[in-house]
Amino acid sequence: MAALTKDRATPYREGVEVEYPVAASVKIYAGSLVCVNTGGFAVPAADTSGFRLAGVALEQVNNLTGADGAKNVRVRRQGVFEFDAASITQAMVGDPMYAVDDHTFDDAAGPSNDVKVGVLVKYGSATKGWIDIAR
């Protein structure tokens, strides 16, 4: 494409909430961590190679009987959220955290595929913590 030669009315969004097409045979629960798989479709977060964090689901979407992209899910792409932790400590505040499943995270020592879900910003207990998903 050639460079612009006049002003352009560029569509704009805040980008805090985004919709993603949901993978086939998947159910995503409201409040869960959501990833995008290698095909670009939303799936429940998991310690799976090639997954990348999309955000936190704002709604439940059942695509168990649908094809890839038959339904969409709205996710929040930034914020600080409380999730379950596999085993964390106060000393891990500020460290990156990684997906175990769609509601559980752990430090880098646990998961094997390093699907980063954010940074631990507040320790609650060994099994609860607040992660900043935008970092």
**Residue 80 CB: number of other CB atoms within 10 A?**
14
At residue 42, the 3 state secondary structure works out as: strand
d(CA 7, CA 119): 40
Do residues 98 and 77 lie in contact, with contact meaning Cβ atoms separated by under 8 Å? Answer: no
pLDDT digits (tens, 9 = 90+) for 51-110: 999 999 999 999 999 999 999 999 999 999 999 999 999 999 999 999 999 999 999 766
d(CA 132, CA 93): 11
pLDDT exceeds cutoff 80 at 111 = no
Question: In which residue are the tokens 């595929």 written?
Answer: 113
Instruction: Indicate the average pLDDT of the chain.
Output: 95
Residue 1: pLDDT band with limits 50, 70, 90? confident
